[in-house]
Protein backbone atom coordinates (compact mmCIF):
# COMPACT_ATOMS: atom_id res chain seq x y z
CA UNK A 1 0.00 0.00 0.00
CA UNK A 2 1.12 3.55 -0.62
CA UNK A 3 1.56 6.03 2.22
CA UNK A 4 -1.58 7.79 0.98
CA UNK A 5 -3.58 4.55 1.23
CA UNK A 6 -2.18 3.89 4.69
CA UNK A 7 -3.16 7.43 5.68
CA UNK A 8 -6.76 6.70 4.66
CA UNK A 9 -6.64 3.53 6.77
CA UNK A 10 -5.11 5.44 9.70
CA UNK A 11 -7.76 8.15 9.43
CA UNK A 12 -10.53 5.54 9.68
CA UNK A 13 -8.87 3.93 12.70
CA UNK A 14 -8.40 7.23 14.52
CA UNK A 15 -12.01 8.20 13.74
CA UNK A 16 -13.19 4.88 15.16
CA UNK A 17 -11.03 5.32 18.26
CA UNK A 18 -12.40 8.78 19.13
CA UNK A 19 -12.38 10.27 21.66
CA UNK A 20 -8.63 10.12 22.31
CA UNK A 21 -7.03 11.80 25.28
CA UNK A 22 -3.70 13.34 26.12
CA UNK A 23 -2.27 14.01 29.54
CA UNK A 24 -0.97 17.48 30.40
CA UNK A 25 0.50 18.00 33.86
CA UNK A 26 -1.38 14.92 35.06
CA UNK A 27 -4.68 16.25 33.73
CA UNK A 28 -6.52 14.15 31.13
CA UNK A 29 -7.74 16.26 28.19
CA UNK A 30 -9.39 15.31 24.91
CA UNK A 31 -7.26 15.70 21.79
CA UNK A 32 -7.55 18.95 19.88
CA UNK A 33 -8.17 18.76 16.13
CA UNK A 34 -4.44 19.37 15.62
CA UNK A 35 -3.68 16.43 17.92
CA UNK A 36 -6.02 14.20 15.89
CA UNK A 37 -4.37 15.35 12.66
CA UNK A 38 -0.94 14.52 14.05
CA UNK A 39 -2.12 11.15 15.39
CA UNK A 40 -3.26 10.21 11.88
CA UNK A 41 0.12 11.18 10.42
CA UNK A 42 1.99 9.27 13.16
CA UNK A 43 -0.16 6.16 12.75
CA UNK A 44 0.21 6.19 8.97
CA UNK A 45 3.98 6.54 9.30
CA UNK A 46 4.06 3.69 11.79
CA UNK A 47 2.04 1.49 9.42
CA UNK A 48 4.42 2.39 6.60
CA UNK A 49 7.37 1.44 8.77
CA UNK A 50 5.76 -1.90 9.68
CA UNK A 51 4.91 -2.59 6.05
CA UNK A 52 8.36 -1.77 4.71
CA UNK A 53 10.57 -3.16 7.48
CA UNK A 54 8.38 -5.37 9.69
CA UNK A 55 9.40 -8.51 7.80
CA UNK A 56 13.01 -8.06 8.96
CA UNK A 57 12.06 -8.22 12.62
CA UNK A 58 9.51 -10.96 11.96
CA UNK A 59 12.19 -13.09 10.31
CA UNK A 60 14.59 -12.46 13.18
CA UNK A 61 11.89 -13.65 15.55
CA UNK A 62 11.16 -16.76 13.54
CA UNK A 63 14.69 -17.95 12.83
CA UNK A 64 16.03 -20.54 15.24
CA UNK A 65 19.00 -19.58 17.36
CA UNK A 66 22.47 -19.91 15.85
CA UNK A 67 23.02 -22.95 18.07
CA UNK A 68 19.84 -24.60 16.83
CA UNK A 69 20.69 -23.83 13.20
CA UNK A 70 24.17 -25.31 13.61
CA UNK A 71 22.58 -28.40 15.13
CA UNK A 72 20.22 -28.63 12.14
CA UNK A 73 23.18 -28.36 9.75
CA UNK A 74 25.13 -31.03 11.61
CA UNK A 75 22.28 -33.53 11.48
CA UNK A 76 21.58 -32.61 7.85
CA UNK A 77 25.19 -33.55 7.05
CA UNK A 78 24.88 -36.82 8.97
CA UNK A 79 21.49 -37.83 7.63
CA UNK A 80 21.56 -36.15 4.21
CA UNK A 81 18.41 -34.19 5.10
CA UNK A 82 17.44 -30.57 4.36
CA UNK A 83 16.03 -29.50 7.72
CA UNK A 84 18.07 -26.31 7.93
CA UNK A 85 17.41 -25.15 4.37
CA UNK A 86 13.72 -25.97 4.80
CA UNK A 87 13.63 -23.92 8.03
CA UNK A 88 15.20 -20.87 6.37
CA UNK A 89 12.95 -21.16 3.32
CA UNK A 90 9.86 -21.47 5.53
CA UNK A 91 10.74 -18.35 7.54
CA UNK A 92 11.34 -16.35 4.37
CA UNK A 93 8.14 -17.62 2.82
CA UNK A 94 6.08 -16.88 5.96
CA UNK A 95 7.49 -13.33 6.18
CA UNK A 96 7.83 -12.09 2.61
CA UNK A 97 9.76 -9.00 1.67
CA UNK A 98 7.36 -6.29 0.43
CA UNK A 99 7.43 -5.74 -3.33
- Distance CA(33)–CA(20), nearest Å, equals 11
Asked if 82 is part of the footprint of another protein (rule: CB under 8 A), the reply reads no
Asked if 60 is part of the footprint of another protein (rule: CB under 8 A), the reply reads yes
Q: Give CB contacts under 8 A, 24+ apart, made by 72-76.
A: none
Asked if 96 is part of the footprint of another protein (rule: CB under 8 A), the reply reads no
Asked if 39 is part of the footprint of another protein (rule: CB under 8 A), the reply reads yes
Question: CA nearest 34: which of 24, 47, 46, 20?
Answer: 20
What residue ranges bind another protein (CB under 8 A)?
13, 17, 20-26, 28, 31, 35, 38-39, 41-43, 45-47, 49-50, 53-54, 57, 60-61, 63-67
Amino acid sequence: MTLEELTVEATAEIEAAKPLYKQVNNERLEFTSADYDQAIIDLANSKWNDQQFGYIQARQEAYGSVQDQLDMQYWDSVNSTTTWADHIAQVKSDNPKPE
